[in-house]
Amino acid sequence: MAIGILYREELREYDFGPGHPFRGDRYEAFVHLIRESLTEDDSYRILESDWATAKDLLLICDRDYIDFTTEFYKAANLGLEYAGPFAQFHSADNEPGGKPGKVEEAARLVIGQAKLACDLVQGGDFEKVVSIGGGLHHAQRDYGEGFCLYNDVVFCALYLLENYGLERILILDTDAHAGNGTSSYFYQTSNVLLIDMHQDPVTLYPGTGFANQIGEGEGKGYTINVPLPVFAGYDSYELIFNEIVQPVAEEFRPQLIIRNGGSDPYFEDGLTSLGLTVSGFGMIGKRVAQLSAQLCQGKVIDLVASGYNRRALPYAWLALICGLAGIQISLPDPEPIPQRFTRDNAFEDTKAIIREVKRNLSDFWRCFSTA
């Protein structure tokens, strides 16, 4: 079965303007590469969704946040000043520079894609659907940050719980930054298991996602943070799948997997300091596909937006998607791999972190009880 890819040209409007790290041309580069590399009918289909409705947004956001965000970014796109308490609703990294695109409209489109992805997978149209532009995991119910306005990761999970009666959803966050927004929604719930592997928060925004942050109340044990040492690469990620992701997922038995994260663990990302090459992204996609085949009838919703090395981004995204879809393709790294990244020099430090994670969670998961 071909994989479904949700994309439309209006996603280019998710652009914070000149000088900002998050620009809209990222999407065009990926679409150009996939169309150049693969035949659409045989391996994938690109589909368009509608924009989210006001009711959709209220599933994940407070009304006053939606109202401010809508009006502020509409004015910014028109080159106008908007008198309002920006700092109350957004962090400084969400402030546009120069003339931004229609950022809020594009953010609604991302939520629309999340909704359609859920419907397509649950309706049996596709086993796996990818939302290009998705994975906006820093946004919270009443606060936007980290280039994120509305959290489509959370929308997928809540929509599936409320509309399809799912009881166990695994969110696997492989973005280089911790998904603090996603965590804030599910920190006290047990029907959503969040496994979040990211760069050590001592060294990277948002400064959360430590190994001892494991949830509260009914959700204690259902947030699993795996903070990776700087320069962690292929071997570290593979070990985390073997030692953390696989055994916990087998015990949890999810009915569907939501994965989010783009290319920012790449070794020359520009904003981060991890060590994946293009082949590492393919491995992540492949492992998610294997896990879904084993546990949840192949059902995956994949959300892809991040990455700040423009040369590497389309190759890493395509490697992720091909790994997920089981498509055999040879993709080069678009730049020479430095000597320090030809082996995973952080591997021993990763082993120590995994031991810590298991100790913190040994009271909650049988697979870690002997750690």
Taking only the tens place, the pLDDT of each residue in 205-247 is: 999 999 999 999 999 999 999 999 999 999 999 999 999 999 9
Can you identify the CATH homologous superfamily of domain 3-368?
A: Histone deacetylase domain (3.40.800.20)
Rounded Cα distance between 85 and 103, Å, is 18
Residue-level pLDDT at 41 = 82
- With a cut of 60, say whether residue 89 has pLDDT above it: yes
Predicted confidence band at 197 (pLDDT cuts at 50, 70, 90)?
A: very high
Residue-level pLDDT at 1 = 72
Residue-level pLDDT at 42 = 77
Q: How many CB atoms lie within 10 A of CB 186?
A: 23
Residue-level pLDDT at 294 = 98
Q: What is the mean pLDDT of residues 158-181?
A: 98
Taking only the tens place, the pLDDT of each residue in 296-353 is: 999 999 999 999 999 999 999 999 999 999 999 999 999 999 988 999 999 999 999 9
Taking only the tens place, the pLDDT of each residue in 247-282 is: 999 999 999 999 999 999 999 999 999 999 999 999
- Determine what percent of the chain is predicted with pLDDT higher than 90: 95
The pTM (predicted TM-score) of the whole model is 0.97
Domain ranges (residues) in the chain: 3-368
Longest dimension (CA), the chain: 60
Residue-level pLDDT at 164 = 98
DSSP helix/strand/coil, 57: helix
For residue 145, what are the β-bridge partners?
A: 148
Q: What is the mean pLDDT of residues 152-180?
A: 98
Q: In what order do the strands lie in the sheet with 3-6?
A: 44-47, 3-6, 128-132, 300-304, 256-260, 169-173, 192-199, 223-228
Rounded Cα distance between 232 and 277, Å, is 11
Specify the higher pLDDT residue, 179 or 40. 179
Catalytic site includes residue 32: no
* CB contact at 8 A, 273 and 204: yes
Predicted confidence band at 97 (pLDDT cuts at 50, 70, 90)?
A: confident
DSSP helix/strand/coil, 81: coil
Which of 90, 137, 138, 177 is labelled catalytic?
Answer: 138
Which 8-state DSSP code applies to residue 4? E
DSSP helix/strand/coil, 129: strand
- With a cut of 70, say whether residue 371 has pLDDT above it: no
Residue 236 tokens, joined: 């570290």
Average pLDDT value for the chain = 97
